[in-house]
Every structure is written in structure tokens, then in C-alpha cells.
Structure 1
């Protein structure tokens, strides 16, 4: 299966301020916690992450079937780890790599 791009996670320094702005734009969030606020935009996930590094900017996540295999293939091609794989939900892990120019590549899978 080919990877699909279905989410964008925006690091924020003030979750309440960001939530107010994104709610005005996108409507009520489907998930509203102290560590993540998520909005569904026609099947595309826009998330606010108060734990992210604002200076690094938003991260687009590609959904993949085998996170470890895709991550290893990207590292073999020259990508480097920014954030090692971690579990964010019962069946979901994420990681972030950098391309050769330091741009973020997010992976979301099992």
C-alpha cells in the first residue's frame, strides 16, 4: 500500500489561544485534551501539539503500514531521526525524520 498524507500536526506555545483560532476556522475539535487538540477537516486531521517545538514548524504525517520498515528505508536513503518512534494510541506509533535539508517527514503507523 502506498503511503497517504492524512494529517498535519502544528506545534503551539499557547494551546488555549491556538485552539480558539483553529476552532474559529475549522469548527469544534473532535479531541480536546491538555496534550492534543484534533480537528477533522473532511477526513484530514489537523492537530495542535503543545509539546512540539514551535521553531520546527508543522509536521505532515504519512500513514504507512509498517512504520519501522519505512523509517529504515528513509534512513538508508539519507534521512536522519528527529524524533524516535513512540506510541501515541493503542495501535498507533509516530516518528519524525529530517530530510537532507532538515525538513520534517512524519510517519504514522503500527
Structure 2
């Protein structure tokens, strides 16, 4: 069974978003880098990532899967569109994004 893994907010000003999230969540980030700021809150990963100029600022919830390639094949057969091809984000962890027919963006993550 696949499970919820995290939600990542794409932000225009990472430093400002970090100040707000740190205050709101009442905890310091466990990861604080120029490309990702991450918090563990009650077993949930909440992340902030800087937006590229053409990126949507819509939050993306990631579902953890055991086999990213197989899951992508299955969801595409079911009608999803591949938005971002799988990429390694460190430590062998792979992520990809898909869209449904209504434009909802969903993230997939295979932990390394």
C-alpha cells in the first residue's frame, strides 16, 4: 500500500517562508539549505523549496511508493499525465510529479 509522505510548498522567498513556518510550527527546520528547508511535525514532513520562474506555487503532496517507475506506468494508464520525470533528490530518493485530468498536481516519492 502506498502512503502519504510529505507536502512541499514552492515559495518565491525561501528566507521569508522559513521565518513564517518556523514561527508557525514552533520548531527549527531539520534541513536548512538554499534548495530545501524541511520540518518534521507530528510524523509529517513539511518542506519549502524555492520556485523557478516557470514553476507553479501550488503545494505538492507526495505519496510514497515502493517502485516509482511501475507506479508511474500504472497511473499513466489510468489517465495521469507525467509533469516532471523522475529525478534523484539525494540519497537515492527519487521524485516525480503527475497531473490528473482536473489539473491537480500529485507527487510520487521512492525513498532510497
Q: TM-score, normalised on structure 2? A: 0.92
Mapping for residues 1-110 of structure 1, pairs under 5 Å: 2-26=1-25, 27-51=27-51, 53-55=55-57, 57-109=58-110
| Corresponding residue pairs, total | 108
Q: Deviations over 1:28-59 (max 9, x none)?
A: 0000000000000111000001035244x000
Q: Secondary structure at the match of 1:102?
A: coil
Looking at structure 2, the residues matched to 32 and 97 of structure 1 have their Cα atoms a distance apart, in angstroms, of 27
Looking at structure 2, the residues matched to 51 and 61 of structure 1 have their Cα atoms a distance apart, in angstroms, of 17
Contact kept, 8 Å, 1:13 with 1:54, in 2: the verdict is no
Looking at structure 1, the residues matched to 47 and 102 of structure 2 have their Cα atoms a distance apart, in angstroms, of 24
Unaligned runs of 5+ in 2: none
Segments of 4+ in structure 1 off by > 2 A? 51-55
Q: Secondary structure at the match of 2:12?
A: coil
Q: TM-score, normalised on structure 1? A: 0.93
Looking at structure 1, the residues matched to 65 and 56 of structure 2 have their Cα atoms a distance apart, in angstroms, of 25
Unaligned runs of 5+ in 1: none
Give the aligned CA root-mean-square deviation in angstroms.
1.1
Q: Secondary structure at the match of 2:89?
A: strand
1:91 is displaced (CA, Å) by 2.0
